[in-house]
Amino acid sequence: MHSQKVLIIGEIFIDTHLDIIDEHGPLVRLGGIFHSARAFSALNVDYVLAYYAPDYLEDDINYWSCVLNTKGCFKLGTIKNAPNVMLVNESKEVGDQGYYNIIKDQAQYIDTGNIDQIISITNPTDILIYPGRYSCELLFESLYAFNGKIHVDFHYDSEHILDGIKTSVNTIILSTSSSQFKEQCGGTLDGIVEYFKPYDINQFIVKENRGGAYCFDVGSQRIFEAPAYYVPIMHSVGVGDVYNAVFVSQILDNDIEKRMRLAALCAAKYAETMSFDKFSENTKLMLDNIDELAALQGVRLSWAERSQKNIYLAAPDFPNVDKKPLDKLNDCLLYHNFKPHLPIRENGLADGFLRYEDELRIYNSDIQLLESCDLLIAVLLYNDPGTLVELGMFKQSGKPTIIYDPFSYCENIFVKYTPNFLCKTLDEVISSTYQCLRRR
Amino acid sequence: MGSAGSGKFGTYRIGKGEGTSGTGSGVGRMGSEGSGEVECPKIIENIPLEDVAVLEYYQKYNTLPSQETSVRLRATIYRGRLVVETADLGEILGNLPTQYNTLINCIKKGMKYSGTIVASGITPVPFVVVTLNA
């Protein structure tokens, strides 16, 4: 269908989802570059795999790459002394997912393939690189003479990846989930441009998790933006890689924004299921109807905007109360770059021994904080009167409210019908937070 | 001494979809409990529609249809949103909350959603709550 052929380079893992259990135990599937492979296969775009993996996975990799209609599957190197098994503690990325690569520090990467030969045999138009702990310097030196487009996912293990690069890179792909984005690029476009100044880059795509994405085209200095689309997600592992595949494809020609919307829709469809057949069917539906679906309203709330969104966490944050759900929510909101506020920890605790004027000072400070916030989340650790009063006061301001009710205390109709969203799980709270605060 | 472990690749089967969404509380919610996948739901209960006051029906009549009135989900996107309309004349009652956008897949697969108004009124603000069935 398309003349494009993408060579995907990177590691292959066994993703082990510890929180998705079926009759066989935790769900396992091939991860790493297989996530993008699934997307290319679903989109009917030709692709080739060049991978690093332990030898014991070879038969499975060959078998499943055939199932996914690959045009070639080549081993670039083997990984010894480590299984490349990635444990995923929390599949939905409500907060930090707790990825754990078993005995990764003793892994040895031994090059066995020849990238020049693979390029010469397969003749790709694009190369999509997922750097890892294999020698990226060696790889980039080998790509010096490559005339097609190079796209690099600048991700978790990719601190020094561009050291050996001497050619231009079409796309640098960044994610707000990666430490590189936050630490080396300072979490801003200016920081990104500065960090990559020594290199010849055509465009940057920055995926901002559930808040959408933007693309900065260096030549025209233009910024393109597109939203994310809410789905009841099952997982978020590999979702960004699906986005990458759609984005670097030549589908929709030069309409960058529409392609970003398609990428977001397909990524959402990947997050919805662990079934390739279902994902593939849904992806085709998205592609067939993209002219209509491109107009669909989604969630756009940039990483930078989120840091300006103040969220009041109303809860009985008292010393003798088990506050785990509240602390976890606070951590998750911080992970997504929101600005949560815990009034008692900020303004002090009125413990009954305070003088009148000190109590009043705390009360007034809390009211001031309440008024300055954009959203209130009431965490029902129990039916605490203070929490419910704060909910009612905030509601009257016309700003959005969410109830997080992990223990099903919410029975009273005033409590039930007051918030914009009544949530039972953290995942729902995070999704609802994006819904409440998204750009209008 | 035995050991526990996962079986093998390719054993995953869809089979945990709830088939029903909604809270019954009138507050919008559509999600999967635990880790099960959500397929196209057969019924979505108690969906509070959005932007009722500024959309076609209320703008035209300054009132809203009563409980039990038949409604349906429009098969095409209107101004970026999925909308619920009256079944007889196709007049738009309100926007479906964006968390139900995933239904677009179901519609494009040929599924049709219709149902009835569960509650409606004009005070304190115009509102319509519907239940939809596939």
- Helix (H) or strand (E) run with residue A388 in it: helix A385-396
Q: Which DSSP helix (H) or strand (E) runs through A278?
A: helix A276-288
Q: How many domains does chain A have?
A: 2
CA distance A415 to chain B (A): 11
Predicted structure pTM score:
0.89
Burial A377-391 (b: 16+ CB within 10 A, else e): bbbbbeebebbbebb
Q: Please tell me whether residues A344 and A258 are part of one structural domain.
A: no
Phi, psi of A346 (to 5 degrees): -85, -40
Domain shared by A142 and A177, yes or no = yes
pLDDT tens figures, A310-341 = 999 999 999 999 999 999 999 999 999 999 99
Q: Is the pLDDT of residue B18 over 50?
A: no
A116: part of which helix (H) or strand (E)?
helix A115-122
| Shared domain check, A364 and A320 | yes
Q: Quick check: B102 and A268 CB within 8 A?
A: yes
Identify whether residues A54 and A149 lie together within a single domain. Answer: yes
A235 and A351 in a common domain = no
Interface check B29 vs A, CB under 8 A: yes
Name the band, by pLDDT with cuts 50, 70 and 90, for residue A54: very high
Domain-terminating residue out of A267, A293, A319: A293
Is the Cβ of B63 closer than 8 Å to some Cβ of chain A?
no
Asked if residue A245 and residue A316 are part of one domain, the reply reads no
Characterize the bridge pairing of strands A401-404 and A375-379.
parallel
Mean pLDDT of the region B57-83: 96
Range A198-214 average pLDDT = 94
Q: How far is A157 from chain B (nearest CA, A)?
A: 26
The predicted structure's pLDDT at residue A144:
85
Same domain, A186 and A117: yes
Confidence category of residue B33, pLDDT binned at 50, 70, 90: very low
Strand partners, B66: none
State whether B25 and A416 contact (CB < 8 Å). yes
d(CA B100, CA B81): 10
Put simply, the answer to whether A29 touches B9 (Cβ < 8 Å) is yes
Q: Are A273 and A316 in the same domain?
A: no
Helix (H, G, I), strand (E, B) or coil at B54: helix
> Residue A361 is part of a domain; what is its CATH number?
3.40.50.450
**Is A302 part of any domain?**
no
pLDDT of residue A157: 60
- Coil vs helix vs strand at A126: strand
Q: At what angle do helices A256-271 and A34-43 cross, to 10 degrees?
A: 110
Based on the domain organization, do A227 and A281 belong to the same domain? yes
* Interface subset of B 65-124, CB within 8 angstroms of A: 76-77, 79-81, 97-99, 101-102, 104-105, 108-109
Is residue A260 situated within a structural domain? Answer: yes
Residues A47 and A112 in one domain: yes
pLDDT > 90 fraction of chain A, expressed in percent and rounded? 72
What is residue B119's predicted lDDT score, i.e. its pLDDT?
96
Q: Closest-CA residue in chain A for B49?
A: A420
ipTM exceeding 0.90, yes/no? no
Q: For the residues A89-101, what does the mean pLDDT come to?
A: 74
Structure tokens belonging to residue A77: 């190197």
**Which residues share a beta bridge with A111?**
A77
Contact A232 B14 (CB under 8 A): no
pLDDT in tens, A378-404: 999 999 999 999 999 999 999 999 999
Contact residues, chain A, for B30 at CB < 8 Å:
232
C-beta of residue A410 within 8 angstroms of C-beta of residue A380: yes
A269 chain-B contacts, CB cut-off 8 A: 105
As its CATH architecture, domain B45-133 has: 2-Layer Sandwich (3.30)
In a domain, A299, yes or no: no
| Strand-pair category, A222-226 with A310-314 | unpaired
Same domain assignment for residues A36 and A159: yes
**Tell me, what amino acid is at A94?**
V
A52 and A90 co-located in one domain: yes
Cβ contacts (< 8 Å) between B27 and chain A: which residues? Answer: 416-417, 419-422
Q: For chain A, say whether B25 makes contact (Cβ under 8 Å).
A: yes
B69 to chain A, closest Cα gap in Å = 23
Nearest to A422 among B27, B30, B35 (CB): B27
B1 interface with A at CB cutoff 8 Å: no
Q: Which residue ranges make up each domain of chain B?
A: 45-133
Domain boundary among A293, A320, A352: A293
Three-state secondary structure call for residue B18: coil
Last residue of a domain, one of A293, A316, A342: A293
Amino acid A139: pLDDT: 87
Count of pairs with CB atoms under 8 A, one residue in A, one in B: 121
pLDDT for residue B19 is more than 80: no
Indicate whether A223 pLDDT > 90: yes
* pLDDT tens figures, A132-145: 888 888 888 888 88
Q: What's chain B's average pLDDT?
A: 82
Distance between B62 CA and the closest CA of chain A, angstroms: 23
Check A234 against B32: CB less than 8 A apart: yes
What is the domain extent for residue A143? 5-293
* Residue A297 to residue B98, Cβ atoms within 8 A: yes
Residue A78: give its domain's CATH number.
3.40.1190.20
| A36-47 pLDDT tens trace | 999 999 999 999
Taking CB atoms and an 8 Å cutoff, what residues of chain B touch A405?
none
Q: Do A421 and B29 touch (CB under 8 A)?
A: yes
If you average pLDDT over residues A218-222, what whole number do you get?
A: 95
